[in-house]
Each structure stands twice: as C-alpha cells, then as structure tokens.
Amino acid sequence: MSLDSTEIETMHDVFSDWERRAILYYLQEHGGRATVDELCRHLVGWWRGRERPAPRDDDLVRRVREQVACTHLLKLQNFGVVSYDPRRETIRLSEEMKVSVSEPWTNPPAEDTAPTRLLGEAPEA
C-alpha cells in the first residue's frame, strides 16, 4: 500500500497534534470507547500535569468539550480512526484502525500555550 502526498499530509496533521494523540491514547487505554465528557476531563487533567481527570464543573473542561467535539473528533472521524456520535456524545476507536500512542504526559504542549491549544486558539505573541 502506498500513500500519496495528500494522504501523508493528512496523516501528519492528524497525528502531529497533541490533543488528537491524547484522545487516541485515552481510547486505546479505556477499551476503545468513551464519552466526550470523560475524555475532556482527562485531557485537561493531563495538560495540568496530573494523571487524574479534572472536575466535571471545571470551566476549562466545558470550553475544551466544545473544541474537541467541533474540531478534533471530526478530524479523527474523517481520517477513519474514530467513530463519533454527537447526539450521544460518545466516541469509539474504529475497528479497522490499529493505533499505538504513547502517554500524553510524556510530551505535553508548552505550559504557556496549552490552554489556547486545547481550545484551538492561536497563542498570543
């Protein structure tokens, strides 16, 4: 199987993003299924350098949920790595795709850019 330059560029875009790798890691470690809420609570917790999830009522968790649902999950779904059901707010790894992603806390985004990265905003100059 050979990939053309567009497929390689798409694959790089999907897997070069910390949030998307963290999403895939969470799914691979939790039986391939999750809710958007539990996933986002873990993303925020990992970004903060903790292995435990952030509280459900955390303001950043609410804001990250919107960004994850609108951007990251759709991109992962379009690439065929996950199935995302926005009505049920559930995600599952595609059965056709096998991924192996390392722990997100081994290579987190820089502390000063993480909140804006998690929310899909450009860092301030």
The CATH number of whichever domain residue 61 belongs to comes to 1.10.10
Let me know if residue 65 belongs to a domain.
yes
Instruction: Scan for tokens 């929310």, then name that residue.
Output: 119
Let me know if residue 91 belongs to a domain.
yes
Let me know if residue 24 belongs to a domain.
yes
Distinct helix (H) and strand (E) counts, the chain: 6, 3
pLDDT tens sequence across 1-42? 555 555 555 666 777 788 888 899 899 889 999 999 999 999
pLDDT tens sequence across 47-106? 888 888 999 999 999 999 888 988 899 999 988 889 999 999 999 998 876 667 667 656
Distance of CA 23 to the CA centre of its chain: 3
Domain containing residue 31: 18-96
Let me know if residue 123 belongs to a domain.
no
Q: Domains in the chain: how many in total? A: 1
Let me know if residue 78 belongs to a domain.
yes
Let me know if residue 69 belongs to a domain.
yes
pTM: 0.75
Tokens of 61: 């968790």
Let me know if residue 12 belongs to a domain.
no
Let me know if residue 106 belongs to a domain.
no
The span from the CA of 25 to the CA of 102, in Å, is 7
